[in-house]
Structure 1
C-alpha cells in the first residue's frame, strides 16, 4: 500500500451532506475547511458557522465526540479560496445543479494545488460532464465520491472515475476511504444515479406502483417492507419521509430526464399523491409531516381513499407472516407466488420486478453483481442484496417465474431477461461474482488495504476462513489463524448476543489458562455485539428458585473471569465492536489494551435492571480514582469518583468508541478503528507488540485510598436533589447509593487504604443485596419480557 496521506480536506458546501461529511472527516482526525457562500449580513462565515453549530444538535450525532467540531474551520468563497492551496483533497457537495457546479469549479480552479484530488459528492450527475468544468490539467485528479446520508453511519461510498481519472488516484483514494474513514467502496460506472440510488429508487418506485395496484395502505406496506424482508425499520414510506419527499422527487426526476430509453421509463415519475404533498409543503420529517405525521403521541398516516390522515396500524396478515417466517428462501418465495392474499402478491411483485430490473441493467450500471449487492446493503441497509436474495431462493426457479410473469404481462416491463440469466445457476461463487459486461466472474479487489480485513463482509456463495480451534466449550471458542499469527489466540464468545452466562465465565478462565501455556497473547474478538452483559435468564432462574448462595457464587466467578483478563501472564487485547454493556464493559476494562471500532456503544448499564456493576467495574474506577488523586496536589479521591458515579447511576452509554474514552471505559492509549473489518488485524498486532515488548501483568495495587463515608454522603446529596425533583424513584436512589458505596470503597473512614479484593467483596455483597429486593426482581423480569428497562 502506498504511503498516501490526506493531511487536510476542503468541503465545498455547508448543507446537510457537506457539513456531515466534514464532521466525519473530523471524527477521523482529519482537519477540514468547510466552505459556503458569504452571508449577506453579519459575519461573512455566518452560513458555515450556523451549519457547524447545527452538527452539535443533531441526533444521532454526526460527531464521535463533541470536541471533534474543533477540527472544522469556517470559510467562504469570497475571502478564503487561498486556503484551498493547503488541501490534499477537495470535496464539492453543493446543490445538484450543473450550472452551479460549473461556476464553482471555475472559481476554485486557480487555487487548487497541482497534486490535490478534486471530487464531487453528486448523487447522480454525470462525472464526465462535471469534469468539463475544470481545466484540462486538473481533470486527471477529478472523480466522483458519493457519500450516503448520514455519512458517519452509512458505510457506502461510490467512487466514480472519468475518462481521464488517474488509476493510481482511485486506488489511493479507495484505500484511504476504507481504512481512515471506515467505508465500503463500490466503484460505480458513470451512469445516472450510479448503483445504489439507481436500484434503490427503482425499488421504491416499484413499491409505490404495487401499493396502488394491490390497494394497500402506506402503513401496511411499511409493515411488510421493513425487517420482515430484511430491510431497515423505516421500510419504504417512512424512509421517504426521512429523506425528504422533495429530495425523493428530485432523484426520480433525474432518472426521468436522463434515462429516456430505459424499459421502465414510464415509471420514472413521482405519483400524483406525492406531487400533491410536495405542492402543499408536506415534505416529510423536516416539515413535521409527509406520508406520516405525529398528532400528539399518535402516529397518523395518509389514507388516499379518504383522502386524509388516519391512525397508523400496519397489520400483516397471519398467513403472510407465517410465510415470511419460513427460513427456507426457496419455499418462502414459492409460497408467496402461490398465495392469493394481496399482501403476498404485493411482496412477490416487488421482488420480481427488482430481480428483473437488476438483471437487465447489470451490464450498464455495475462492474459485477457483488457491487450491486454491496451497494444495497451498505447504502440502503438491506440485509441481502437483490442478487443474493435471488440466488438464495433458487436461481433457475426464480428466473423461470420472472420470465413467465413477463410473458403474462404482470411485470412492470416487457423487457426480456438477458440470456446469461438462463445460462447460469447464480452470480456469486467462491471464484468471484458475475460481470455481465465481461461475461465472466470477477474476483475481489486486490488492493493491499483489503489484506487488513481478515474477515471481510461477504456475499452469498463466498467462502470464509474458519481458523484452527484450540479449545472450546458451550460458551467460548479459543482459536487461531496460523496464516496471520499462530502464536496469538483469538477468544470468541459463542452465546446468543454474546451474553455472559456461566459457560462464558468458566470458559474464559479455562481459555486464558491454556493460552498462558502455549500462546504469546490473546485477542477477545467476534462480530458485533461485543457482549450485551450477564445472562439475565440465568439470574432470573436463580431468583425464582431463591438460590441466593448460588447467585453470590456466580458473581464471584464473574469477578474471577475479569481478573483472569487483568492478570493473565500473556497480554489480553479486547477488540470491541457494537454494544459492550454491563459485564461486557467490565471485561474490556480489565484487558491489557483495547482496540475499539468507532461505532461501539459501551457502558455499565446495570442500574437499568436495579443492580450495580459487580464484575470489577466499580473496583476499577475506585483504583483509577486513587491513582489519579495521587498524581494531583490535593489528593482528593472524590473529585475523580463524582463523574463516574453519575455515569453508572444514570446507566450512561458511550455514543462512540471515542466517547468511551471520555467516560472512562477505555484508556487514552487505546486504539480507535474506523473500519470495524480491521479490528482483528489491528488487535492481533497490538497483542504481538505487547508480547514482543516483554509483557507482564501489573502488580495488584495495594494501599488504595478510597473516598469512604464522606464520598458516599456527597453522592447522596446529589441523589436527594434528583429524587426531590422527581428525576429518580426511591429504588433508583437505593441502587445509586449502592453504586456510590462500591465506588467509595464501602462504609469506611474517608481516606482508608484498602486492597483490590476488598473492593471486589464490597461490590459483590451490594449486588446480591439488591438481587433480594422485590423491585430489582421486577426490573429483571420486565427486561427479559420486553427488552426495555422498568422505572419502578
Structure 2
C-alpha cells in the first residue's frame, strides 16, 4: 500500500501572487495553513503576509471560495515564525524563480522541518535535483517539485517532479493528497527545464509567433484561428499572453533559451523585437491596460506590426488598429469538417495563408512533442493531459495527431522536414514511423523509455474516479441501463445505488426530465437502496427549458403551462419525500430548477466549483419548483415555534430577489442554498463516488424521508410589508427597476406565506399554490416574455 500523507497543517513559503493563492486553495480544502514571507521593514512583523492575505479579496477570479476564509490563514515571517514549521506536515515553497534564493531559504528552514514532513517546491521550471542538493540527507527523500498552474484554485493541473532521491511512497502519498484533497489532475514530469506543460505549451506559442510573422498574419487573425475553432480557449494565443503578462512570457522564453542550449529549436527561443518593444514601453498586457491588445472604451484594438515596426513611422503615430480580422470563410469551412483526417489534409493542401499557418503550427508542435517525449515525460498520456489541464485544450498534441491519422500525418511531417519547411531539421524519432496507428490504445499510452504501452495508474485514489477524464478513444463502461426516456437515463453498477442522468442540452428540465425523474424514483424505491442525480458533464442543470415554456405562453396555452409548473413542483416533492435517499451530485451551474432539485434532495454533494442560484427573477419570474416554499420551511425550522421567521428569511430574500449565483459551493452554503451538512468535494471526477457513498450511508442508517411539513410558521403580512420598505429604498436608490420591484414583491409574498397574520401556520401545499399562482401570473406579462426572449437570444438578463 502507498504511504498515506496526513496533512493536519501546511505551510506555504512566499506570499507573492502564486504563494498566497496556493495558501488560499489549501484553505478552501479545509487545510489549516500558515503563510510565510520576509519580515516587514516597518509596522507589524507579519505585515507583508497580512497585505497579501488582504489582496486575495481583490483578485479575479477569486482565489478563496469564500471571503470569510481569509481569516483562517495564519501569517508568519522567516525571522520570528520558523518554530511554526515544526507543526506542519506539508511545506510548499513558492518564492521567486531564483535558484540561489530558493537554496538559501532551504538552508534556513531545514532545521525546523519535522522529521515526517514533505517539502515541495512550486517552481515552474528550475532543476529539482539542483534544489535537493542543498538539503540535509534526512530531508532529501521527502523533497520533490510540485508545480501548480495559475490560478491554482481553478487550474486542474499539478505537475509532480521527483528528484533522484525522492522516496516513491512520498510521491504516491502526495499524489493522493493533491488528487482528493485539492482536486488536482496529477501528471509526473521529468526534471527538465519547464517540465511538461510549459515546455510544450510555450513552444506552441513560440511556433505560433514564428508562423504569424512568416505568413504575414495579424495578431487578432491568429487568435481567431487558434481559439475555439481548434478546440482551445477563447483567449487563444495572444490574448492569453496578455493575460499571463508579456514580461512573464519573455521570462519563460529566456529560461528556455538559457537552460536548453542543445535543443534543436533553440534559435526560436527568443522574444521577438515587437515583444521586447512593448515590454520596454511598459505595455505588459492586461495588468498594464495595454499589451498586444488594448481596450479603448468598449472597442478592442490590436498592435499592428506594420505600423509599430515601420522605421519611418512618426513617434506619435498610434501603433494600434481595430481588432477586426477574422478567420476566412474557406478556413472556417475546413475547420468545421467532422473528420480530422480530412481537415488536416485540406489545411495542408490549401493555398490560403491562414490554412498554411495552421498546418505549419500543428506540424511543428507535433514534431517538437514527439522529438522530446522521451526526455520530458514517461508516456504520451502525461503530455496530452498536461496540455489539456494546464492550457485548457480539448485535445492534447498526440491526441490531435492520432485523430488526424497518425501514419499519414507522420509522413507529411517527415516530408516537410526533408523539404526544409519545418522549423527544425531534427529527425522524427524512429518509433513515430514504425507503422503504429498512434500512441493511445485500449491497453495504455506509449512510453518511449520502456517501448511499451503503459496503463493508467493503479494507485487506489483513482478507484474513486468512475469516469476519469477520457483520452482519445478511451471508453468507460456506461453501467447497466434500468430505465430511459427522452429526458433521462437511469443506470447502475450492481452496487445497490442507482444513478439518473439528464439527456437534454445544458441538462435543462423538460417535461420528459420531470416524468423521467418521477419514474426513476419509483423504480429506486422498489429495487435500490438509493438514487443519485448526476450528470456526465457540466452543468448539473441550467434550469427549466425556457424555450419550451415561452412557446406555450406565446401560443396562449396557459393551462398547459400551469400543468408543467405543477408537474415541476410534484417532481421536487417526489425527490424530498422519496422512501430512499435521493442525493444530488452537483458541479458547474445549478440554476433555477437545478437549484431546486438539490434543495429537495436528502443530501447534496457539490464540487467546490458549483455555481448555484435561484435566478428566475433575471427572466422576470420567481422560483416555482418548490424553491421559495423550501426557504420558508427552512426559516421556520431554524427559529423554532414562536421565533422570528422574518430575521431568518431576510438572509435569503436578497439572494433570490437579486438572482444571485454562488461563486462556489462554500458560498452556496453561506447563501442558504445548500445546507450546512451538505458535502463539498474538491475533485469533480470523485463526485459520483462520494454521492453514492452518501446515499449508501443514509440508507444503511435506516433512512426515512422528513415528515410532511404541515405547521409552517410564516412571517405573513407584516413580513411582506417590511420587505416592501426595503424594496422602496432600493427602487428610490435606482438599484432595481420598477419591474424588478414587482417581481421581488411577489417573491416576498410567497416566502412570507401570503396575506395572513404574522406567525400563522400553513402547510407546504399552501406555499406551493402561492408559488404557482404568482409564477403563472408573471409569465403572462409582456415584460417577462421580453426578458425570457432576450435571455434565449443573448444569454444575458434584460433589466426592463
TM superposition score category, shorter chain reference: over 0.9
Residue 531 (structure 2) pairs with residue 522 (structure 1): yes
- Superposition deviation, residue 71 in structure 1: 2.1
Secondary structure class of the residue paired with 1:279: helix
Q: Which residue in the other structure is 2:627 paired with?
A: 617
Matches within 5 A, 1:414-429: 414-423=425-434, 424-429=436-441
- Superposition deviation, residue 2 in structure 1: 4.5
Matches within 5 A, 1:30-429: 30-307=31-308, 308-423=319-434, 424-429=436-441
> For 2:732 and 2:215, how far apart are their aligned partners in 1?
56
- Superposition deviation, residue 136 in structure 1: 2.1
Instruction: Check conservation: 2:220, 2:323, Cα contact below 8 A.
Output: yes
> For 2:60 and 2:678, how far apart are their aligned partners in 1?
26
Matches within 5 A, 1:572-591: 572-591=582-601
Any gaps of 5 or more consecutive residues in structure 1? Answer: none
Q: Which residue in the other structure is 2:311 paired with?
A: none
- Superposition deviation, residue 748 in structure 1: 2.1
Cα deviation code 1:225-269 (max 9, x no counterpart): 111111111111111111111111111111111111111110011
Residue 602 (structure 2) pairs with residue 592 (structure 1): yes
> For 1:36 and 1:3, how far apart are their aligned partners in 2?
29
Secondary structure class of the residue paired with 1:702: coil
Any gaps of 5 or more consecutive residues in structure 2? Answer: 309-318
Q: Which residue in the other structure is 1:763 paired with?
A: 771
- Superposition deviation, residue 297 in structure 1: 2.4
Residue 476 (structure 2) pairs with residue 476 (structure 1): no
Matches within 5 A, 1:514-553: 514-526=523-535, 527-553=537-563
Instruction: Check conservation: 1:29, 1:71, Cα contact below 8 A.
Output: no
> For 2:726 and 2:306, how far apart are their aligned partners in 1?
56
- Superposition deviation, residue 3 in structure 1: 4.1
- Superposition deviation, residue 102 in structure 1: 1.3
Instruction: Check conservation: 1:478, 1:489, Cα contact below 8 A.
Output: yes
> For 1:588 and 1:112, how far apart are their aligned partners in 2?
44
- Superposition deviation, residue 4 in structure 1: 2.6
Q: Which residue in the other structure is 1:786 paired with?
A: 794
TM-score, normalised to structure 1, is 0.98
Cα deviation code 1:134-186 (max 9, x no counterpart): 12221111100100000000011000111111110000000011000000000
Cα deviation code 1:412-460 (max 9, x no counterpart): 1111211111221000011000011111100111111111111111111
Residue 702 (structure 2) pairs with residue 694 (structure 1): yes
> For 1:22 and 1:491, how far apart are their aligned partners in 2?
37
Determine which of 701, 704, 711 is the counterpart of 1:703: 711
> For 1:55 and 1:691, how far apart are their aligned partners in 2?
41
> For 1:464 and 1:332, how far apart are their aligned partners in 2?
27
Q: Which residue in the other structure is 2:475 paired with?
A: 463
Instruction: Check conservation: 1:782, 1:790, Cα contact below 8 A.
Output: yes
Q: Which residue in the other structure is 2:23 paired with?
A: 22
> For 1:294 and 1:52, how far apart are their aligned partners in 2?
30
- Superposition deviation, residue 467 in structure 1: 0.2
Q: Which residue in the other structure is 1:495 paired with?
A: 504
Residue 516 (structure 2) pairs with residue 504 (structure 1): no
Determine which of 741, 744, 747 is the counterpart of 1:736: 744
Instruction: Check conservation: 1:369, 1:428, Cα contact below 8 A.
Output: yes
> For 1:415 and 1:787, how far apart are their aligned partners in 2?
49
> For 2:333 and 2:745, how far apart are their aligned partners in 1?
48
Instruction: Tell me the matched-pair count.
Output: 787
> For 1:322 and 1:739, how far apart are their aligned partners in 2?
49
Instruction: Check conservation: 2:3, 2:170, Cα contact below 8 A.
Output: no
> For 1:121 and 1:472, how far apart are their aligned partners in 2?
47
Cα deviation code 1:385-415 (max 9, x no counterpart): 0111111111112111111111222111111
Instruction: Identify which range, 532-541 or 718-727, moves more after superposition.
Output: 718-727
> For 2:29 and 2:418, how far apart are their aligned partners in 1?
52
> For 2:353 and 2:775, how far apart are their aligned partners in 1?
54
Determine which of 600, 607, 625 is the counterpart of 2:617: 607
Q: Which residue in the other structure is 2:465 paired with?
A: 453
> For 1:276 and 1:3, how far apart are their aligned partners in 2?
51
Q: Which residue in the other structure is 2:316 paired with?
A: none
> For 2:154 and 2:37, how far apart are their aligned partners in 1?
24
- Superposition deviation, residue 24 in structure 1: 0.2
- Superposition deviation, residue 70 in structure 1: 2.1
Instruction: Identify which range, 85-94 or 401-410, moves more after superposition.
Output: 401-410
Instruction: Check conservation: 1:432, 1:462, Cα contact below 8 A.
Output: no
Instruction: Check conservation: 1:30, 1:71, Cα contact below 8 A.
Output: no
Instruction: Check conservation: 1:39, 1:47, Cα contact below 8 A.
Output: yes
Secondary structure class of the residue paired with 1:306: helix
> For 2:164 and 2:524, how far apart are their aligned partners in 1?
54
Secondary structure class of the residue paired with 1:138: helix
Q: Which residue in the other structure is 2:315 paired with?
A: none
Q: What value does the CA root-mean-square deviation take over the aligned residues?
A: 1.1
> For 2:280 and 2:108, how far apart are their aligned partners in 1?
35
Instruction: Identify which range, 754-763 or 460-469, moves more after superposition.
Output: 460-469
TM-score, normalised to structure 2, is 0.97
> For 1:403 and 1:748, how far apart are their aligned partners in 2?
81
> For 2:227 and 2:651, how far apart are their aligned partners in 1?
40
Q: Which residue in the other structure is 2:313 paired with?
A: none
> For 2:224 and 2:737, how far apart are their aligned partners in 1?
36
- Superposition deviation, residue 298 in structure 1: 2.1
Q: Which residue in the other structure is 2:667 paired with?
A: 659
Secondary structure class of the residue paired with 2:119: strand
Secondary structure class of the residue paired with 1:578: strand
Instruction: Identify which range, 11-20 or 225-234, moves more after superposition.
Output: 225-234
- Superposition deviation, residue 314 in structure 1: 3.6
